Structure 1
Amino acid sequence: MPGLFGFYRKKPFSRERSSALLAKMKGQMQHTSSGVSDSYSLDRFAAGRLTLGILAPSPQPLISPDGRYILFFDGQIYEYHTLAKELKERGYTFVQNSEAELIMNLFLDQGKRFAQLIKGIFTVVIYDQLSHSLLLANDRYGLFPLYCQDSEDQFAFASELKALLPVMDGERKVNRSALCDFYNFQFITADDTFLEGVSLLPYATVMEISESGLLQERYWDYPYQNQEKGRGLDELAEEGYLLIHKAVQNQWKPGFKIGIPLSGGLDSRLLGTIASKIASQNKQRVNFFHAGSNPRYRETQIAQRVCGSLGGEWHFVDLLSQDISTLIPEVLSLNDSHFSCHQSWLLGVAKRAAREGKANILLDGYCFDAQLGSTFSILGPTPPSEERCKLIRTIYCGLQPELAKQFFTPEFARSLIQVTDENIRRMSKERDGEPVENWLQYFCFVNRARRYTIGNSWVGRNYIESAFPYLDYDLFDFCLRLPSEYRYQSRLYRHIFLRYFPALAKIPWSKTGLALDRYQSSLSRLRNLIKGSGYYLNRLSFGQLECGNLDVDANRRFRKDPAFRRFFMDILRDERTATRGTVSRQGIDNLIRCLDSGRNYFHLIEAIVTVEFFFRSFVD
């Protein structure tokens, strides 16, 4: 998988040994024959990079003109030309005209401040041969994982957890707190991992490691300024539209062939609309990829209608044709079982786009509904810490005590709720006094988005790169300034469509089934209730009657698809699964009976399978 790997030795050993260990780390991360690799070894430092050659294609490492600094970089820098021009005016030279060269020159000019001056998605490693110190830095959002382990003799880092195994010191111990988080939410909170002593590089962080210890500082932390009033809807829509257009335009680079995963929602629709407008100006056509199970289902029909309206090329990826027995093991191997196996659907899109040569980079609508939509528009006073825990559990389907007792061992069930609530309280204290809608949105950005949503794109990077226009810094700052009432019922989002793309606004939104100028009334809610009657028949009949437009509902597939069920049952029935100190054999039987009687708890089966693959890969 594209990314960085390496280590810093606090006590030096031979360059030959460094090179041998680095080669083993690379072997753990190189899953396909495509792409290129770079590496560099010294007696105290060794690092490497794997890349598809799409983002940052120039060879690495980059070494400073005086030979002091060695730099590796993974990611993409926005507005490269503006920064490069400023640096050239200050006397810095560019030989490669590469993004790595930009970062090096900015570091030489600004020191550790360089990270907060870059706009982009990135991880950077810089080794100082004079002071024998290592510097790590990442973007605001910490979007791409960089796993780190600090021990007495060395500091190791890698974009994949498994790449740390050849250099890890000591016994591998499971982090029970992380297991509690994962069984509650299907993601781990903050920077924890399933292994004790291994953590992610925190978001927006510059970390320096030397013989004297480890220092880190956060240079940015979601500065909300959305209490301002007085700006009208038209003014905000104009600013928002221009920023979104600029963000998408920044992704148009020589050699990029753009593809967009398209759903029936608004994020990919707006992204596709602006991308198609830019593509037509360049005499190009956007390829749209829709993952579904039946072309007749509403979500698919809406997506296809959007694609046709934009003159794009339609590609339907049939999720039911994918062999689940090979897909999920591959996904969990690629993501180190640190993202839920539920986040596997995009791999088929990435493979197809790469295989057919239709695209080499996917524009991801990542998390824009959380930025601009109504997901967290809960207007009201800031609740106390305990109420925040309840809100998080409600939003992310966290376990309730009575369910925990049914499925987990008594000891683990007791800690399952308590430990996760303690983690939430700790994060709540860091944003004490924040309005509730801001805090919930912040929790999503630094936890669910970073530790769950990104999983699809992260795995897909083995075959095709992804870019995230909605994380453009200026656009994101605009969203942090946006008063909450404009997110309520996606008010501003709708207005942008109605003002600038009225034809696209007439196509129903899959979330409501209505055009964007219409809000749900009691009648429309009743119609949607009738259309969704299959779900309620399913519940009332304890799983015996299943009908309606259920698309690829995993609960239904587990009950009705023999091959799908067999894969999960083989893992659930394996004697190892009930020996991890979390789920019991009786609990697994209870869970299967609940699913078969119409209770939709399949997300717990996905969590069990993900955790079990982790144990088999890293502990057994």
Structure 2
Amino acid sequence: MPGIVGIISDPAVAGNQGRIQQMVSSLATDPAYEQRTVLASELGVVTGWVGTRHGCSGPGIYSHPQHHTTLLLAGECFPSASEAIIEHASADKANDRCHWLLEEYARIGEQCLAKSDGLFAGLIIDRRAGRVLLFNDRYGMERIYVHEARDFFYFASEAKALLRVLPEVREFDEDGIADFLSLGFTTEWKTLFRNLQVLPGGSILSFSGGNKVDSRYFTPPEWEVQSRLNADEFEQKFPAVFKRSLPRYLTCGSELGLSVTGGLDTRMIMAFLQEDRATPITYTFVGESDALSPLDATIGRKVADICNLEHHIIPLESDFFADFQSFADRTVFHTDGTLGVTGAHEMYYGARARALAPIRLTGNYGSEVLRRVSEFKRFELASGLLRPELRARIKSIIEPTPIENSASFAAFKAIPWRLYGNYAANRSEVTLRTPFLDAEIVAFACRRPKELRGSSEPAARLIQKGNPRLARIPSDMGYLGEDAGRLGKAFRYAWNRSCFKMDYYHTAGLPGKLSVFDPALDQFASRLPLFGKHKF
């Protein structure tokens, strides 16, 4: 999977170069990946980069000879909406699009990270100042796993790179395992492995003269303390915020694919494509066959046709099932165990999407950030499966509770903790972009009034404003569409929501003691054409 790795020690140790090659090779699992290493022995740093090169992204290592700085970058780092910064960047030149960060670093130091956007992790080697900066995005979505030993600091975008060279971390962490078995993910930046941590979002680690200083260039309270808007103000300002943010994610149009669903979030993106003259390839993921015409497929086709965009259906074909073991193994491997075999389809879809376009623009996380669709639920494991001490540890876990500011809770906890595995599986195949983690959009969502929590009205009105023709097509949950009156809309939503829940229970099984009725539900589903519209 694309990423960065490194070892920092004082003084530099010759053996580190051999270890860094092992760490790099553990990430370079695809023949299409490139590998680069950088040695700054005077600073005790040896580091490496693995990734793919396409016309938009360029290589992940950038140097500024005039300032004696080098940047290694995983993910994508965009300049913010500040006009002063955008002047340094050209959307058509890959190097310029990241050189702005080194230019700003030369001008204002590490404060340049507060002016950044996107999902990224990076390392700046500053030979003139004699220091090294390790940093990540505000949310911690582009992970940096770290391990600190005497005189050595190890870091990597994937845990497996550290497991490769550090025998002492090849054990499970009991707290991390307890989290995973209880919630399906680890919390508070813990990992599944002993003595491995993940850097919190917005981190800066500065290394200089044998000293390490931990700091944050951003913390969530900066957005949580903003004054709340009233409902009218929020809905009035939202379209301008969205339109201002979206163009950063539409660059490299010839290499851009847009995964379209029947929901509101990708529709919001498509409603404003015409203003930027963006023409991405669109596609929709479906199940074994689109014979059942799932809503994602039928709605996706209609939306793409209105926007005059090329559209493809990507089904799960027989080769996925024939080689399921390989896809399952790769899913666990590439995500460092954060996603299990039930997510194997993500790897398959990612590979098929990459054949169409190397960059995938998605509406992921829109519902979590804008509509409070973020909940943590405990698993109900049979107590006989667990050792008594592990059972007690799991019982003591208190699941994270949503805070007053639900947008902040979603962006800084629910998404980077609970949904990281899906993100990791996708980014192993494509460059993943979403405007719904754009700094300006999330900061604005943190000002959402309480009466709009859970409401789809701001999204629906934004689509109506951007492209009224798209607003005439009902969403998979029955939003939008021709006006059927309040009663008609309520019935349409209730019907679609009920069908969605029945599809969910048919796939995942009924909860708790109701699971005894699963066979009856299967029989019921096989006889009615109502099922299968909301799943693939």
Shorter-chain TM-score range: 0.7 to 0.9
Equivalent-residue separation in structure 1 for 2:312 and 2:214 (angstroms): 45
Conserved 8 A contact 1:244-1:470: no
Change (3 A) 1:146 1:341: farther
Change (3 A) 1:114 1:507: same
Question: Which secondary structure state, in structure 2, belongs to the residue aligned with residue 319 of structure 1?
Answer: coil
Match of 1:292 in 2: 287
Deviations 1:490-539 (A, max 9, x none): 22122222343333223222234774865764786368547866858985
Match of 2:307 in 1: 310
* Alignment match of 2:144 (pick from 146, 158, 164): 146
Conserved 8 A contact 2:478-2:492: no
* Alignment match of 2:449 (pick from 480, 483, 489): 483
Change (3 A) 1:526 1:160: closer
1:196 is displaced (CA, Å) by: 1.7
Equivalent-residue separation in structure 2 for 1:13 and 1:320 (angstroms): 50
Match of 1:525 in 2: 494
* Alignment match of 2:386 (pick from 400, 408, 414): 408
Question: Which secondary structure state, in structure 2, belongs to the residue aligned with residue 449 of structure 1?
Answer: helix
* Alignment match of 2:117 (pick from 116, 119, 122): 119
Deviations 1:206-256 (A, max 9, x none): 112356543212222232256534562xx5334322322232222233464
Identity over the aligned pairs, expressed in percent?
19
1:543 aligns with 2:519: yes
1:286 is displaced (CA, Å) by: 3.2
Question: Which secondary structure state, in structure 1, belongs to the residue aligned with residue 38 of structure 2?
Answer: strand
Equivalent-residue separation in structure 1 for 2:364 and 2:94 (angstroms): 31
Match of 2:162 in 1: 164
Match of 1:388 in 2: none
Change (3 A) 1:477 1:100: same
Q: Please tell me the residue identity of whatever aligns with 2:146.
A: C
Change (3 A) 1:219 1:57: same
Equivalent-residue separation in structure 2 for 1:545 and 1:231 (angstroms): 42
Q: Please tell me the residue identity of whatever aligns with 1:362.
A: R
Conserved 8 A contact 2:287-2:316: yes
Q: Please tell me the residue identity of whatever aligns with 2:287.
A: G
1:273 is displaced (CA, Å) by: 3.1
1:364 aligns with 2:333: no
Equivalent-residue separation in structure 2 for 1:268 and 1:523 (angstroms): 21
Conserved 8 A contact 1:293-1:552: no
Match of 2:135 in 1: 137
Question: Which secondary structure state, in structure 2, belongs to the residue aligned with residue 241 of structure 1?
Answer: helix
Conserved 8 A contact 2:362-2:434: yes
Question: Which secondary structure state, in structure 2, belongs to the residue aligned with residue 116 of structure 1?
Answer: helix
Question: Which secondary structure state, in structure 2, belongs to the residue aligned with residue 57 of structure 1?
Answer: coil
Bigger CA drift: 545-554 or 26-35? 545-554
Change (3 A) 1:294 1:8: same
Conserved 8 A contact 2:477-2:496: no
Change (3 A) 1:516 1:335: farther
Match of 1:509 in 2: 475
Match of 2:255 in 1: 257
Bigger CA drift: 156-165 or 102-111? 102-111
Q: What is the aligned length?
A: 507
Equivalent-residue separation in structure 1 for 2:22 and 2:493 (angstroms): 59
Match of 1:390 in 2: none
Question: Which secondary structure state, in structure 1, belongs to the residue aligned with residue 249 of structure 2?
Answer: coil
Change (3 A) 1:446 1:344: farther
Equivalent-residue separation in structure 2 for 1:26 and 1:527 (angstroms): 48
Conserved 8 A contact 2:338-2:420: no
Match of 2:415 in 1: 449
Q: Please tell me the residue identity of whatever aligns with 1:108.
A: A
1:160 is displaced (CA, Å) by: 1.2
Conserved 8 A contact 2:5-2:48: yes
Report the TM-score, using the length of structure 1 for normalisation. Answer: 0.73
1:196 aligns with 2:194: yes
What residue ranges of structure 1 are gaps of 5+ in the alignment? 89-94, 377-394, 429-434, 558-620
Match of 1:301 in 2: 298
Match of 1:473 in 2: 439
Match of 2:348 in 1: 348
Q: Please tell me the residue identity of whatever aligns with 2:353.
A: A
1:484 is displaced (CA, Å) by: 2.4
Match of 2:234 in 1: 236
Q: Please tell me the residue identity of whatever aligns with 1:53.
A: R
Equivalent-residue separation in structure 2 for 1:198 and 1:86 (angstroms): 40
Conserved 8 A contact 2:133-2:205: yes
Match of 2:334 in 1: 334
Match of 1:460 in 2: 426
Deviations 1:88-118 (A, max 9, x none): 9xxxxxx995344322222222222221122
Question: Which secondary structure state, in structure 2, belongs to the residue aligned with residue 149 of structure 1?
Answer: strand
1:396 is displaced (CA, Å) by: 2.5
Equivalent-residue separation in structure 2 for 1:171 and 1:257 (angstroms): 39
Q: Please tell me the residue identity of whatever aligns with 2:408.
A: Y
Equivalent-residue separation in structure 1 for 2:474 and 2:337 (angstroms): 36
Equivalent-residue separation in structure 1 for 2:173 and 2:76 (angstroms): 32
Match of 2:46 in 1: 46
Conserved 8 A contact 1:156-1:167: no
Equivalent-residue separation in structure 2 for 1:130 and 1:185 (angstroms): 46
Match of 2:376 in 1: 396
Q: Please tell me the residue identity of whatever aligns with 1:112.
A: E
Deviations 1:131-150 (A, max 9, x none): 76432111212221111111
Conserved 8 A contact 2:79-2:115: no
Q: Superposed, which structure 2 residues align to 1:57-72 within 5 Å?
A: 57-58=58-59, 60-65=61-66, 67=68, 69-72=69-72
Match of 1:109 in 2: 107
Change (3 A) 1:164 1:99: farther
Change (3 A) 1:526 1:452: closer
1:4 is displaced (CA, Å) by: 0.8
Q: Please tell me the residue identity of whatever aligns with 1:456.
A: N
1:362 is displaced (CA, Å) by: 0.7
1:361 is displaced (CA, Å) by: 0.8
Conserved 8 A contact 1:317-1:348: no
1:34 is displaced (CA, Å) by: 1.1
Equivalent-residue separation in structure 2 for 1:148 and 1:70 (angstroms): 21
Conserved 8 A contact 1:291-1:349: no
What residue ranges of structure 2 are gaps of 5+ in the alignment? none
Change (3 A) 1:293 1:134: same
* Alignment match of 1:267 (pick from 240, 265, 268): 265
Equivalent-residue separation in structure 2 for 1:7 and 1:82 (angstroms): 36
Q: CA RMSD for the aligned pairs? A: 3.4
Q: Please tell me the residue identity of whatever aligns with 1:498.
A: Q
